[in-house]
Structure 1
Amino acid sequence: MAKYTPPEQSRAMQVIDIIFLVIAIFAALWLPLQAGWAGAAKEIDVVENPTWEALKQTPAMVEQWVKLGYADAAAAHDVIQSRFHYNIDWMELIIMALVLIGYFVFLFRASDKEYREVIDEKFNGKK
């Protein structure tokens, strides 16, 4: 019975794989920030004549804001009120879910095919 030996990848291809993965990870993290899809809030919920109470800050929170250098509520207003507004686009969510499901179906079918080829090679087609 022949022992299965997986195909080997050359050093050059390993380096290319590493470079590709680093670029892909960098792009996946940087592109949404650069395109404005992620990051800090784009809108500030304005409160006229802000007070700590109007900004819903407890005395303990106020103490921490003062330690950070925000002496009054007006100075901390923009930081406190710049909140993330999570708006879900259901169509984009459904499309993303379908793409992920399709990818996993492809992945499992391709893996199953390769796994069966290895089993057939190892056991000479015996079941």
Structure 2
Amino acid sequence: MPKLTVGPWIAAQKLPSKDMGRNRHAFLERTKLRQEEQQVAGLPLVGMGGSCGKPAFALPYLLTWSDANTQALENVADEFGCYVEYGLYPHLKLHEGDLEVAAVQDWTNLAMIYLRPGYERAEEVLTRLSEALRPL
């Protein structure tokens, strides 16, 4: 599977240059793109990480962490040459280079996966995480 197909859509919304940071009209033009619904692997794109800029995809179920699903998370991480870093939320990081490729957030009303759009196997890891974390 490829990188995220929404990469160009995301890039078109980012600040094109620092001098445009105070241009309200340019901002309003960029935000018009958000009206176009985006999906990857059947999951809706619900936004982007404020600090990381990674796209966030809503899972079709709620998530409460347990021994079983954290083990499933670690198994998926292994499939992609990653380990899980358990901070506030779990992050999948490549063993080689320590690059963060995904993060999973559990909220009381929504569960989301954040993905690095340039990661070569982004859509595949999104699909696998969605399958592996689905409650039984």
Do both share a fold (TM > 0.5)? no
Write 1 or 2 for the structure with the bigger share of strand.
Answer: 2
Alignment TM-score, normalising by the size of structure 2:
0.22
- Flag the structure with larger Rg: 1
Normalization by structure 1: what TM-score? 0.23
Between Structure 1 and Structure 2, which shows a larger proportion of helix residues? 1
